[in-house]
Amino acid sequence: MVISSRTHKTVEESLDFVEEFLAELDAEILPATRETALAAIDAFSRYGRGRHPARLNFGDCFSYASAKASGAPLFYVGEDFRRTDLA
C-alpha cells in the first residue's frame, strides 16, 4: 500500500515489485502463529511504548518476536531495537 501510494503504481504493480524483491533476497514470509503472537505480547510487556525506552509499537513487537523465534538478524533504522536484547 505504501509503495503504491508513494510511487503512483497500481496495487498489482506494487505487489509484483515486493514479490520480486523478496525473491531476490531469498526472504521467507513467516506465519503469525499463536507462539509468535504470544512472543509479541511478551515483547510489548518488556519493550512496549509507555513501558520501556525502546518504545516498540505493534509492528515492532511482531518483528522482534519473529527475529527471536527464528534466530535471524533484524535489520532496523533508529534507536528502538538497540534498546532491546536483540542488539
CA dihedral 41, 1, 71, 28 (to 10 degrees): 130
Q: Would you state the pLDDT for residue 30?
A: 78
Same domain for 23 and 5? yes
Residue type, 20: E
Q: Which three cell numbers stand for residue 4?
A: 503504491
Residue 6 confidence class, pLDDT cut points 50, 70, 90:
very high
* Residue 15: domain span: 1-29
Same domain for 42 and 62? yes
Same domain for 38 and 70? yes
| Domain count for the chain | 2
Q: Which three cell numbers stand for residue 38?
A: 504470544
Same domain for 20 and 40? no
Q: How far apart are CA 29 and CA 76, in angstroms?
A: 17
Same domain for 38 and 78? yes
Q: Where are the alpha helices (DSSP H) in 1-87?
A: 2-7, 11-25, 34-47, 58-70
For 27-82, what is each residue's pLDDT tens digit?
888 788 999 999 999 999 999 999 999 999 999 999 999 999 888 889 899 999 99
Same domain for 41 and 3? no
